[in-house]
A and B are shown apart, each in its own frame.
Chain A
């Protein structure tokens, strides 16, 4: 405890900590704003122009749109994919092109020769692209079951190298979009009022923005704190202290974790107080903000600080910055398709909307498993860090790296 408090004092005197806090504050403030937007909680009225977009699981709609897109791309042999969120255009060679034709044939019930003939007609402008699609799609609706359709589209995605909207993960969100009806908008609204108690909806948006920035900025402090031991030449002195590696590493780790968490709680409280003022205590749950910060954001911090600790102890270099930056980058770019409720295996969970409560409720168990897994991962990384630190203290590894003497 005493050691942890000592580390906290050290961190509070470190300019990098305050620069990190300032950057986190500026980012969240610039995205979330100076206050909450209460218009997000306005009750939908009948005959509004727009109630937002929702996702349908109606396979006929998804099938029709997905096949239309696939046929369009097949006819030009030019497919748009987004591996890790980056645009990539794919052209298939003859072998893969034939495999794609087989997939389309299996989906549509049209023979490969017919498809290829119709494509040639389109390319030579003898037949309009829409006419071809209309003919093929009409046949496709009853040719195979929904599961078979999804499996075949997944194969098409694999053929394209992944990242296309034909994958099972993205097909519904991409091709199942449609405008919400008034009844659906009311249902969403009721969920926000009753289930979210207003606070939950805003808390998720806050965690969405905060998650992005705390997924990268604290790594600099984590690396700097450990790196400083080497720079100031006090590493050898620390090795000789009777404090165990466990106590030392955990104290320093918890000091960083607690300080960043305190800041997040303070910032969350600022918005929480605004919600209380606008809606009143009777309509909201003031503890939801803190619950979301604990479950949604703390695991991100835990993993990031553990990676910073491990990489710096193991390599005596700031390579943790590169590692975490790469991870963060891929995570954020990968999360773009599911930005309004994407709960994959990402470290940084996305929910960039006030609402979509049903999506959150449907995936709540998965979110808890995800967060629990990452906490476990952080603990494992810390244990490995302690082992390496112990080996260095015993002189069994060089202090410049993990090579045996």
Chain B
């Protein structure tokens, strides 16, 4: 069992990590171009933490089911002794770990470059927003079996956050610290767990029905 999980994880790291991590570097590059990295003020760090870093979670989590979306692959999956749910679960956890590590690394890097920030609060807020958005994409792509649909919903929800009328979103407005609102880290994490579980179970049920 442990051997199988290790094999799944090694497969994930070897074949599926680089292609998803590279677009995350594009996010880093965008941050560098727009804001630079040295001596960033609090407002700028908040923009980076709340509005840019969470994009990495959408890039990493939404395509969790991508490799099994090809037509005809279901029969191959069913013929395997390894339960596909295990593969999805390990892949999901690995990508969450990747996202959290990337966020921590960049925030720490900004801190060493004399950025003004409350490290733990901003990092937690950033991670919670990213997981919320990423899990939303994960849920939609899982239940609709559409990778693009997952991206669409997650990115549209992200873009709605940029609109000026934030009152209509209430507790679901994500960029809170930047607007001097109370961060909803626990709510975001709670909804993330709900979305991830629903997405995973939904995907498995749909595959079973096929």
Q: Contact check, B44 vs A16: say whether CB atoms are below 8 A apart.
A: no
Lowest 6 CB-CB distances: which A-B pairs, in order?
A224-B148, A220-B152, A232-B71, A89-B41, A233-B71, A86-B34
Is B82 located at the chain interface by the 8 A CB criterion?
no
Is B159 located at the chain interface by the 8 A CB criterion?
yes
Q: Contact check, B148 vs A326: say whether CB atoms are below 8 A apart.
A: no
Nearest CB on A from B52, distance (A): 10
Q: Contact check, A88 vs B44: say whether CB atoms are below 8 A apart.
A: yes
Nearest CB on B from A328, distance (A): 9
| Main secondary structure on A side of the interface with B | helix
CA A88 – CA B48 in complex, angstroms?
12
Q: Contact check, B44 vs A216: say whether CB atoms are below 8 A apart.
A: no
Nearest CB on B from A316, distance (A): 11
State which residues 31-89 of B face A: CB under 8 Å: 33-36, 39, 41, 43-44, 47, 59, 69-72
Q: Which of A19, A317, A322 contacts B152 (CB 8 A)?
A: A19
Q: Which of B19, B44, B59, B155 contacts A87 (CB 8 A)?
A: B44
CA A89 – CA B149 in complex, angstroms?
38
**Given A88-B36, A227-B147, A16–B71 Cβ distance below 8 Å?**
no
| Residues of A close to B193: CB separation below 8 A | none
Is B161 located at the chain interface by the 8 A CB criterion?
no
CA A230 – CA B67 in complex, angstroms?
12
**How many residues does chain A have at the interface if contact means C-beta atoms less than 8 Å apart?**
29
Nearest CB on A from B68, distance (A): 11
State which residues 217-235 of A face B: CB under 8 Å: 217, 220, 223-224, 227, 230-233
Q: Which of A91, A233, A318 contacts B148 (CB 8 A)?
A: A318
| Residues of B close to A326: CB separation below 8 A | 26, 30
Chain A minimum-CB-distance residue to B62: A318
Is B23 located at the chain interface by the 8 A CB criterion?
yes
Mark each residue of chain A from 4 to 45: 1 if its CB lies under 8 Å from any CB of chain B, else 0: 000000000001100100010000000000000000000000
CA A161 – CA B148 in complex, angstroms?
37
Is A83 located at the chain interface by the 8 A CB criterion?
yes
Is B151 located at the chain interface by the 8 A CB criterion?
yes
Is A321 located at the chain interface by the 8 A CB criterion?
yes
Q: Contact check, A89 vs B59: say whether CB atoms are below 8 A apart.
A: no
| Residues of B close to A161: CB separation below 8 A | 36
**Given A220-B152, A326-B26, A318–B35 Cβ distance below 8 Å?**
no
Q: Contact check, A16 vs B39: say whether CB atoms are below 8 A apart.
A: no
Mark each residue of chain A from 65 to 102: 1 if its CB lies under 8 Å from any CB of chain B, else 0: 00000000000000000011011110100000000000
**How many residues does chain B have at the interface if contact means C-beta atoms less than 8 Å apart?**
27
Nearest CB on B from A295, distance (A): 26
Q: Contact check, A16 vs B152: say whether CB atoms are below 8 A apart.
A: yes
Q: Contact check, A84 vs B156: say whether CB atoms are below 8 A apart.
A: no
CA A321 – CA B23 in complex, angstroms?
11
Is B17 located at the chain interface by the 8 A CB criterion?
no
CA A227 – CA B149 in complex, angstroms?
12
Chain B minimum-CB-distance residue to A91: B39
Nearest CB on A from B63, distance (A): 8
**Knowing that A16-B152, A227-B147, A322-B23 are A-B contacts, what are 16 other residue pairs whose CB atoms are under 8 Å apart, sorted by A's residue number?**
A15-B149, A16-B146, A16-B149, A83-B34, A86-B44, A86-B47, A87-B44, A220-B151, A220-B152, A224-B146, A230-B70, A233-B71, A233-B72, A325-B155, A326-B26, A326-B30
Chain A minimum-CB-distance residue to B158: A325
CA A320 – CA B176 in complex, angstroms?
30
Is A387 located at the chain interface by the 8 A CB criterion?
no
A-B contact pairs, 12 of them (CB 8 A): A16-B149, A86-B35, A86-B44, A87-B44, A89-B44, A216-B159, A217-B156, A227-B148, A231-B69, A231-B70, A321-B155, A322-B59
Nearest CB on B from A194, distance (A): 34
Nearest CB on B from A226, distance (A): 10
Nearest CB on A from B164, distance (A): 11
Q: Contact check, A321 vs B151: say whether CB atoms are below 8 A apart.
A: yes
CA A88 – CA B39 in complex, angstroms?
11
Is A319 located at the chain interface by the 8 A CB criterion?
yes
| Residues of A close to B59: CB separation below 8 A | 322
